[in-house]
Structure 1
């Protein structure tokens, strides 16, 4: 006995639906919500520092700041520089709850990371989103870094661990401070959760933008100090100006 009725008509399949590009609104020629011309014109990160991903004039170099004081994290992976239209897409995702933009950027970041893995980069044991301050989380209603980490986890089949880090203090927004103030702002801002499993693990911090690297540096130091074997940083974009990591 069949519990489902027979139906010989055409069935609507969502995955075969033609999408429109989120940038130009023209029909997309790919399976994603961005067309090939718009994707090509994105501000892709070119030659950059091997550690912090700061844009540099030649490949295979390490910036002066990272040579003077090597960061606690091993490597930053970022597909783009923080310029138009990436800056606009991130801002709309982060502050206006335009989640389709975030999902698209996460898909493209996952493709970039998979390429690095295919080229020999070792995948991490877990993705760890940068925690958001409680006050800002209440105001915004979501943590954009956690959303990115979950989408990356689904695409790359790497576990997402949101229970390792805590933001213990509500601090001034980092973009409103200079490099020295950023460092002071982050003192004692983060902590490990009770019974956090850190020792011997290769972890990757996930965030939207790396500016001076102060947040990534603070969290990497915390994780390495707790016994992590390696900490990488995965983010959507890197600002094109140098900053102080320490």
Structure 2
């Protein structure tokens, strides 16, 4: 079926002379299907923690949480804060299977990463790893949005993706329903490496849609670092601000 994630071709028709912005439905000359006005007005993440990308009043700082409990990952790259309209676009991509929206956001994330690589602000990873989804939730949704984002990024960045190196063998309660402390306990045994996984000395980038507390990313990064990884970064579409900010 052409609605399955394994389908290799375009999931929508690309009209050369009549492209419209996927956000405002107005005409767009951009190949990313977003007009210049909407792209400019997206909630771009500016001043942030240099480790976890938490929005901060000033740039170049490390947030208190990362100072007190340094995460296992080195950098988080997220172009936007999780606010309107990015939060709505991600939700429609995940929960309504609006793949063109996810594809558009992945292309813009890829552009953002290309710029960071070219400016030598960020080192290129050896491999992209999508955050695995619990089997029950995968059956309910029908696809893993992190897996799709990783595939699109892999094509744009020319970096290989490994969808089977990290496994999620145990069912866990959905993270968004838990507080930060319970999230950590929930993920203690959630992830595992595939048998024979090649990790030693490699630089990985975890791919997900949104980073909230960073607990999932930390758990996966700790698993990889303990197995001998050289470095683990996190690439995501959006970063949530601190509650109450």
Measured in 2, the distance between the counterparts of 1:110 and 1:17 equals 24
Q: Partner of 1:50 in structure 2? A: 50
Q: Partner of 1:75 in structure 2? A: 75
Spell out the pairing of 1:55-204 with structure 2 (5 A cutoff).
Answer: 55-120=55-120, 121-204=122-205
Would the aligned equivalents of 1:19 and 1:32 in 2 still touch at CA under 8 Å? no
Do structure 1's residue 222 and structure 2's residue 223 form an aligned pair?
yes
**Partner SS, residue 207 of structure 2:** strand
Deviates more, 1:124-133 or 1:63-72: 63-72
| Gaps in structure 2 of 5+ consecutive residues | 1-12
- The count of residues paired between Structure 1 and Structure 2 equals 231
Measured in 1, the distance between the counterparts of 2:14 and 2:47 equals 39
Q: Partner of 2:10 in structure 1? A: none
Measured in 2, the distance between the counterparts of 1:17 and 1:219 equals 44
Q: Name the CA shift for 1:14/1:89 in 2 (closer, same or farther; >3 Å).
A: closer
Residues 189-219 of structure 1 deviation map (CA, whole Å, 9 limit, x = unaligned): 0000001010000000000000000000000
Residues 36-91 of structure 1 deviation map (CA, whole Å, 9 limit, x = unaligned): 00010100001000000000111110001111121100000000000000000001
The structure with the larger Rg is 1
Measured in 1, the distance between the counterparts of 2:38 and 2:114 equals 21
Normalising by structure 2, we get a TM-score of 0.92
| Gaps in structure 1 of 5+ consecutive residues | 1-12
**Partner SS, residue 16 of structure 1:** coil
